[in-house]
A = this chain, B = another copy of it.
């Protein structure tokens, strides 16, 4: 299933070393000024080679919008786009043609489809997320007009965490460091850890935190369409994601109801333990959530595995890979959240249609 959403829908295609990555945004409202510089800036945040923390691959990642825009404005028609794959070193993968890299999707794709594009992980490569960032950027341009904002940051790398509540952080500092953590001191520690791990040819996981602000009351649907269920599905569909929580999340299970209930007063809510969603529907308060990412599977050290014939082989990866996906996953988390919120905004408009 390569389509996401109900009324605002993103369909994506493309492999890591194929001709292009691309997608179709369907259901974008008409009359939105499509700020290409903004889309480009969002892609740059996801791009490899931004800092010494990320892979040295140089990918221009220039997006070409093919449709759905006329004289700078969206027309309500599907927005097709592509990003050509360039600067590929497909030969880096020749040795891996018949090999199942440990903890990659090689084995499962091969077993499911009987055929796979082995170069750079093919469809399972995180390069697919380029399309999500484009879709998310378009969604952000729509949400901006409603004053809805989405901010994500690297909250934890390995054991180094920035534990303060988001409301006590200066989120304007997120983009001031390579690791995208709003606490400069913690950011420095995270960077040190990533470089150390990189030096060991190893990788490390982490947690991205995010908050949606300005979300109106009423987004989300009963039963299966709860807003946080949609957000969770969106986040868990990102490569390497292993967990999702919102509000007090896992930590909150140890609390009593009397500690967690949010009291409503004539002046508004006294707290936000609910995380901005009650009964699956937004209540107008900020929506904080967190996404856990495992350490990436590609190590720059030898690993043993088997090939498709069942032979034991040792792999020596030569590709250019990130020791930690967190910094580059920040814009992807934002993009997925933006699409979920816009989709639900449109659905909510229909649900409350005056008929």
Q: Is A199 part of the binding interface, using a Cβ–Cβ cutoff of 8 Å?
A: no
Told that A108-B282, A242-B275 touch, could you supply 20 new A-B pairs with CB distance under 8 A? A11-B78, A13-B24, A14-B80, A19-B64, A27-B351, A70-B117, A70-B122, A103-B257, A105-B278, A202-B258, A204-B256, A207-B253, A223-B237, A236-B244, A257-B297, A260-B295, A264-B306, A265-B304, A346-B350, A349-B350
Q: Is A87 part of the binding interface, using a Cβ–Cβ cutoff of 8 Å?
A: no
Closest to A256 in B: B202
Closest to A146 in B: B355
Partner of A304, one of B142, B200, B226, B263: B263
Minimum C-beta distance from A282 to chain B (A): 7
Q: Which 6 A-B pairs have the closest CB atoms?
A: A105-B279, A243-B245, A1-B225, A13-B80, A203-B257, A233-B233
B279 contacts A20, CB within 8 Å? no
A103 contacts B262, CB within 8 Å? yes
Minimum C-beta distance from A182 to chain B (A): 18
CB-CB under 8 A from A109, the residues of chain B are: 222, 279, 281
Q: Is A334 part of the binding interface, using a Cβ–Cβ cutoff of 8 Å?
A: no
* Complex alpha-carbon distance, A13 and B189, angstroms: 46
A123 contacts B295, CB within 8 Å? no
Partner of A76, one of B6, B115, B158: B115
CB-CB under 8 A from A228, the residues of chain B are: 236, 241-242
- Chain copies in the assembled complex: 4
A246 contacts B242, CB within 8 Å? yes
Interface string of A151-187 (1 = CB under 8 A from B): 0000010110000000000000000000000000000
Partner of A222, one of B123, B244, B278: B123
A26 contacts B7, CB within 8 Å? no
B77 contacts A13, CB within 8 Å? yes
- In chain A, positions 82-113 with a C-beta closer than 8 Å to chain B are 82, 100, 102-105, 107-109, 111-113
CB-CB under 8 A from A264, the residues of chain B are: 100, 102, 107, 305-306
Minimum C-beta distance from A110 to chain B (A): 10
* Complex alpha-carbon distance, A21 and B232, angstroms: 27
Q: Is A214 part of the binding interface, using a Cβ–Cβ cutoff of 8 Å?
A: no
Partner of A229, one of B123, B218, B236, B282: B236
CB-CB under 8 A from A254, the residues of chain B are: 156, 158-159, 205
CB-CB under 8 A from A156, the residues of chain B are: 253-254
CB-CB under 8 A from A202, the residues of chain B are: 256-258
11 A-B pairs with C-beta separation under 8 A: A1-B6, A70-B115, A73-B115, A108-B220, A109-B279, A207-B253, A224-B233, A243-B246, A255-B295, A265-B304, A266-B310
CB-CB under 8 A from A21, the residues of chain B are: 67
Q: Is A280 part of the binding interface, using a Cβ–Cβ cutoff of 8 Å?
A: yes
Q: Is A210 part of the binding interface, using a Cβ–Cβ cutoff of 8 Å?
A: no
Q: Is A299 part of the binding interface, using a Cβ–Cβ cutoff of 8 Å?
A: yes
CB-CB under 8 A from A226, the residues of chain B are: 236-237
* Complex alpha-carbon distance, A65 and B20, angstroms: 9
